[in-house]
Each structure stands twice: as structure tokens, then as C-alpha cells.
Structure 1
Amino acid sequence: MVRSAGPAFYHPTVARLTYRALLGRRRALLLFGLPLLLLIISAAVRSLTGADDATTAHLLQGFALGSMVPLVGVIAGTGAIGPEIDDGAIVYLLAKPVKRSTIIATKLVVAIGVTIAFCAVPTLLAGYVLGGNSQNLAVAFAVAAAVASVAYSAIFLMLGVITRHAVVVGLVYALVWESVIGNIVPGARTLSVQQWSLAIAQKVADGGQVSSDVGLTTSVVLLAAVTALATWFAGRKLRTLKLAGDE
């Protein structure tokens, strides 16, 4: 029997199994690859151009926040539950006396932790490499990456529950909507997690290198609402999954 030794929303055994699945050899290579690339690019840019706040903001927004965070979010969010549903292993977990809402909450916590570790921390380091935290840019973008990690984890975890093509859908969302449409089409920026997190970075940064098309209050409300709704919907969909013999 899988026993709970923590709060009702968190199950240590489920968390341990999820961490093990996410940090397996194949996913670990993907998770380490993007942050490592960010740090290599940052070191190269610093050696070639020196410290420049505009360059720092451009790289951290375009690569770190615009590409790395949503892609790592796809890997962590969908990987927290999608493979278990695809291969049928979720049946054994759902057969245990663990609330399905607790399963979702636990997997979300794990996905958030992994995404923050592989996004916010490297973004902070890259900011210091690029400009030594001039204008507080390193901290600002690290905070934005952490906030975005929460929303992305919830969105992609939900996708992992509702579709077997979660990775494909997540990649399309991350690469097309967040990286392209969200940066080009003015109206679409209001519905972009990247823009919402940029509003927080703008608040934290000391200078004018960071700007968002969405106000701070609106961004905070939308980030909280999307995270809550995605988590609720994932739990609701998981409760509708039928085990063999549930007829």
C-alpha cells in the first residue's frame, strides 16, 4: 500500500516516483541541455561584447524566458504524468488509496521544483555571467523564470492528463505561441505566460531594459488563475479515468 506521510495535498511516495521518472537518463539529458546551452552562450557573449545591459536583457528574455523555460516546462509537466498514462502504469497508482487530487498536486509540486531548478537557477547564473546583475537583471529574470515555471508546469501537466499527444501539443504551444505569436502579434501578448512573467521582471529590475505589454496586477491575477484552473481541470480529468474493472 502507498501510504501518505505528508500533508493531504502532497504524497511523498508519489513524489519520489515522479522525481525518478523525470530525472531518468533520457529526460535528464534534455533537462540539462538547455540550461547548459544558455550558460555557454552567455559566457561567449560576455567574452565577445563585454557587459551590456541591453544584450543581457535581450538574451535572457529571448532565450531563457522565451524558449528555455517553456521547453523545460513541457519536459517536466508532461513527463510528470503523461508516460504513466500512455503505458498504463497509472492504473497501479490509481488503484491505491490515494486521492486523485493529491496525485495531481504532488506531481505538480515535483514538476514545478524541477522546472525552477533547471530554469530559474541557470537564468540567475547566466545573468551574473552576462552583466554581474547590473540593474538587477539577473534577479529579475530569475524571478520571472520561477513564476513562469509554476504556470507552465500546471498547463503542461494538464495536457499530460487530457491528451496522449501532450508533448507535441506542448511543443507547438511553447515554440509557436509563446516564442513567435506571443512576441509578434500585439493582441496575443495579453495571453502569453512570457509577457505575464515579464511584468514581474519589470517590477524587480532597476532600469528600463525590461518591459511587458501586460500590467503587473493583471499579470499576477492571470498567472494565478491559469495555474489554479489548469490544476483543477487536470484533477477533474484524472478522476474520470476508469480502471480496469471499474465498470
Structure 2
Amino acid sequence: MNATIARLTMSTLFGHRRGLLLFILPVVLLALCVLLALTVDNSPDFSTALLQMFGLAVIVPLISLLAATGALSSEIDDGSIVYLLSKPIKRSTIIVTKALVAIAVIVALGAVPMVIASLILDVHDPQTALAFGAGTVVAGIAYTAIFIALSATSGNAVTIGLLYALLWEGVMGQYVGGAKALSVQQWSLAVIHQLTDAPHVTSAVKLPIALILLIAVTAIGITVAITRLRSLSLSTAE
């Protein structure tokens, strides 16, 4: 990890309107949970359903999209990536550092609010809260790899990523049987299911398969991004 790249990436993420959106999304999740906790007689089924259908399926992919694409695609779009490409820094170091920064942002603005949201809905079940936090982290890692690879290979990473997050993860990954096996959300639910004894938390994918797919997607995504950055010449970046 390169400290200078990490600092520049953080500046890019939080120096524009993107940074405001990164804070708004978890605030919306927490505000909704507070409102429901005050007005609805919550049951464990209701709480976990909300965390899954709104938290895991919508908020987490969107935060991951903003963090991962902001870490790379914005620099490619405005040409500032030339600064990094002109330095004697390994392309793998650039990608891995940016990915780690994005993951750190997801942990802070995705996983931590998810734990808090779960406790707001059911303060007596910290085990499930921590399980959803862990599920958010593993999902965020996979999403980061997917969206960084997309940022490195496409000039429309945000648009494509938004369609993927909302349509595939938000709809297909929840309601279409065949698509569930290829949903990061379902893979993270397998981890959550393993960490909590709540019977209402289930996944369409068994844990061993989920872990294999999470690792494979992460490795492939990072590899694609590194390979693409290596082929990106200074003249192309400009």
C-alpha cells in the first residue's frame, strides 16, 4: 500500500459531491431504522428483512459503487491518473491501494452503519448486528473488485455499475431464483447466516460455494484492473 496514493484517493473521494452522497446513504438507512423503530412493532423477521432488502441490496452496493469508481474512474476521466502513471510505481500497487481505500470507506460508511441500524431495530440481538456488519464487509470487498475492474475498462463505469447494483443486486439477486447464485448479496447472506443463529436469515448459496465465489470475483476483478492499467499508456490516459 502506498500512503501518497491513499491520501490522494481519499482527497478525490471526499473532495467532490460524491463524498456528500457517501455520507447521505448511511444517514438515510439509519434515519429509516429510527423511524421504524419508533413507529412499528418490530419483529426479528421484519428487522432482518429490512436490513437485507434495503441495506444489503441497495445501500451497500451504492456505497461500494461510489467508493470504488471514485477511487479510480474519476482520475481516469479527468486525466489526473497521468500523474501516477508517470511515477515509478507498480500498477498493482496503484490498484491495490485504491481498492484498500475504497474498502476502508465501505467499512466506515457501510458496515458500521449496518451494525448500528441492526441494533436500532433490535438492541437485544448484537450477534445478528455483528453478522450483518461482517456480511457488509465481505460484500464490499467483492463489490470493490467488480467496480474497480469496471472503472479500469469502461468510460461508463458509474452508469453500468448503477444498473448492475439496482437491477441485478436489488431485484434479480433477491427475487429471481437462477440469478441468486450469482449475486454478491446472496454470498454475503451465506456468511451472515453462518454467524447468526437467527432462522430467518437465509441464503440461496451454501457457505463454501459463497466463499469460493467471493474470493474468485475479488481476485479476477483486481487482476483485470491491474492488467488494464498496465496497458494504459500516458497518451491514452491524457
Say yes or no: TM over 0.5.
yes
Q: CA 1:223–1:245 in structure 2 vs 1: closer, same or farther (change >3 Å)? A: closer
Contact 2:119 2:126 (C-alpha < 8 Å) held by counterparts: no
- Calculate percent identity across the aligned residue pairs: 46
CA distance in 1, matches of 2:236, 2:21: 37
Contact 1:144 1:201 (C-alpha < 8 Å) held by counterparts: yes
Partner of 1:79: 70
**Deviations 1:107-164 (Å, cap 9, x if unpaired)?**
0000111111111000000011000152722111111111101110111011111011
| Alignment-mate amino acid for residue 230 of structure 1 | G
Q: 135-144 or 174-183: which moved more? A: 135-144
Partner of 1:151: 142
| Alignment-mate amino acid for residue 226 of structure 2 | G
Contact 2:10 2:101 (C-alpha < 8 Å) held by counterparts: yes
1:89 aligns with 2:51: no
Calculate the aligned-residue CA RMSD, in Å.
Answer: 1.4
| Alignment-mate amino acid for residue 104 of structure 1 | I
Q: 1:46 aligns with which of 34, 37, 40?
A: 37
Q: 1:123 aligns with which of 114, 118, 121?
A: 114
Q: CA shift at 1:77, angstroms?
A: 0.6
1:179 aligns with 2:179: no
1:55 aligns with 2:37: no
Q: CA 1:133–1:158 in structure 2 vs 1: closer, same or farther (change >3 Å)? A: farther
CA distance in 1, matches of 2:123, 2:13: 32
The DSSP-based 3-state class of the residue aligned with 2:234 is coil
1:137 aligns with 2:115: no
1:110 aligns with 2:96: no
Q: 2:204 aligns with which of 213, 217, 220?
A: 213
Q: 2:20 aligns with which of 26, 29, 32?
A: 29
The DSSP-based 3-state class of the residue aligned with 1:81 is helix
Q: 2:226 aligns with which of 221, 235, 247?
A: 235
Partner of 1:4: none
**Deviations 1:56-110 (Å, cap 9, x if unpaired)?**
1011001110100000111001110101111111112100010111100100000
Q: 1:162 aligns with which of 153, 157, 176?
A: 153
Contact 1:196 1:214 (C-alpha < 8 Å) held by counterparts: yes
Partner of 2:190: 199
Q: CA 1:18–1:135 in structure 2 vs 1: closer, same or farther (change >3 Å)? A: closer
Q: 2:11 aligns with which of 20, 37, 48?
A: 20
Q: CA shift at 1:189, angstroms?
A: 0.4
The DSSP-based 3-state class of the residue aligned with 1:20 is helix
Contact 2:136 2:188 (C-alpha < 8 Å) held by counterparts: yes
The DSSP-based 3-state class of the residue aligned with 2:67 is helix
The DSSP-based 3-state class of the residue aligned with 1:141 is helix
CA distance in 1, matches of 2:131, 2:234: 45
Contact 1:135 1:205 (C-alpha < 8 Å) held by counterparts: no
**Deviations 1:25-68 (Å, cap 9, x if unpaired)?**
41121001110011111011111123421111011001110100
Q: CA shift at 1:183, angstroms?
A: 1.2
- What TM-score do you get using the length of structure 2 for normalisation? 0.96
Q: CA 1:87–1:25 in structure 2 vs 1: closer, same or farther (change >3 Å)? A: closer
Partner of 1:5: none
- What TM-score do you get using the length of structure 1 for normalisation? 0.93
